[in-house]
Amino acid sequence: MLTRKQHELLCYIHDHLAEQGVSPSFEEMKDALDLKSKSGVHRLISALEERGFIRRLANRARALEVLRMPDRAGSAPTPGDNVVPLRPAATPPNPRIVANDVVELPLHGRIAAGTPIEALQGTESLAVPAALLGPGEHYALEVAGDSMVEEGILDGDYALIRKTDVARDGEIVVALVNNEEATLKTFRREGTMIRLDPANRNYSPQRYRPEQVQIQGRLSGLLRRY
């Protein structure tokens, strides 16, 4: 049985994965459940993982997979209820991928995780475990710089990018600036401006007018070679 908050969080993660192809950030989960801090989200995530409803995937920026779901059919629980009945193992929102499946992604050069640099377009490809990818079309970029280290994105990593031209606050995106420079940053809206945030206290946010920024994808995963 799940508590009401555990049930709400699991349903939110499931729906977000089905809609966006990537699990929500801890900030998004905190806001969706009206929690006061991210520590509450961590406790709920740990409880769901221990009960076998979700798992965390290694080397993923947003690394949650829903394994089974509670039964949401019928009437909603009454305000006094604190548990939710479960149904047998449900089909995950995306088909399970065999662990050793490999996908060849186009590798489009290097992308800045520091000062924006010219976006390089190459013809190479990168072999990527299919389990690291969600739905949709993807490509890979080699990370150059250290401004996203506090998100665990290091110089020389390969960023696995899901193609999209839209982004929500808090998502890590590939942003093309002034049609000539690409950078990997956290996307924010700040009044009438777009703010691209680094994850390194030694770097400052970059602010642009909306017409200067074109979203070219969202971070789906990371690949690191040793």
3 state SS of 147: coil
185 is a catalytic site residue? yes
- The Cα–Cα gap between 69 and 87 comes to 7
Position 1, amino acid? M
Q: Catalytic: which of 23, 25, 185, 220?
A: 185
- The Cα–Cα gap between 58 and 91 comes to 21
Closest CA to 86 of 180, 13, 204, 2: 2
Question: Quick one: 78 exposed, middle or buried, by C-beta within 10 A (0-12, 13-18, 19+)?
Answer: exposed
Q: Catalytic: which of 23, 25, 147, 220?
A: 147
Q: What are the CB-based long-range contacts (under 8 Å, 24+) for 209-214?
A: 212/177, 212/178, 213/175, 213/176, 213/177, 214/165, 214/175, 214/176, 214/179
125 is a catalytic site residue? no
Active-site amino acid positions: 147, 185
